Amino acid sequence: MAMLLCLSPDPVPAQNAPEDKPDRNQLMQGKAYVYKLDPEGSAGKGYKLVYMVAAPLGAYWKFKTDFENDFLLTNKLIKEHRLVEHKNNVVITESIYATKPGVEFRWRTISFPDRHRLSFELQNPKECGQKYHYGHIQLEAAGEYTKVTQIAYFDFFGATLWMNYPWYGGMRYYLEYTARWEQETILRLMDRYR
């Protein structure tokens, strides 16, 4: 997460208030919706990201739960990724991001296949300059598409600035880029996960 100066106090358009529902037609055309959230009862920030991918739920679930892959390295924000441990429905992975070179983020992910849900938590927040970072990803069938809803909460020095920065390097940029990257990558790899 890059620390950047915020030039506008709240540049996120009103359409992205948490109570607003995403427009289904825009979702189907690839638009990603980003909402700001505040964690209940604690400091920090959060977001809700909603987007569609042109893949059936079963294929996309296999894609999202392929923790021992090399395709993540085609995401320009990820420099290194490796599977550390996979036991039953609990997975430990380590990633190094372009925004924090040399810092290994260790993630614990729990999969709930019957609900198509992934819960994640950063296991080494202090080493990553954070107080906490956790959330979940919920997948829903939408015909031959899959609706993705990701909610995360985090706290680190500069979180408010990162969340409000409206250009390259801010939260909205990273989340929209990630949604586009996933939309394109699953299409490229669809045959692997059918």
b/e burial code for range 141-167 (CB count within 10 A of at least 16 → b): ebeebbbbbbbbbbbbeebebbbbbbe
In a domain, 103, yes or no: yes
| Per-residue pLDDT reduced to its tens digit, 138-179 | 999 999 999 999 999 999 999 999 999 988 889 999 999 999
pLDDT value, residue 16: 54
CB 134 within 8 A of CB 156: no
Domain range for 123:
33-193
pLDDT, tens digit, for every residue of 4-62?
223 333 333 333 565 678 999 999 999 999 999 988 777 899 999 999 999 999 999 99
List, in order, residues 6 or more apart from 69 with CB less than 8 Å away.
Answer: 81
Q: Could you tell me the CATH number of the domain that includes residue 87?
A: 3.30.530.20
Q: Give the DSSP H or E segment for 121.
A: strand 117-122
* Within-domain flag for 136: yes
List, for residues 91-125, the tens digit of each pLDDT value.
Answer: 999 999 999 999 999 999 999 999 999 999 999 99
Do the domain assignments include residue 90?
yes
The reported pLDDT for the residue numbered 19 is 61
Q: Are strands 78-87 and 90-97 parallel, antiparallel or unpaired?
A: antiparallel
- Split into its structural domains, the chain has a count of 1
1 pLDDT higher than 60: no
Task: Assign residue 166 a region (left: φ > 0; alpha: ψ between -120 and 50; beta: otherwise).
Answer: alpha
The residue with greater pLDDT, 5 or 76, is 76
Instruction: Dihedral sign for Cα 35, 151, 165, 186, please.
Output: negative
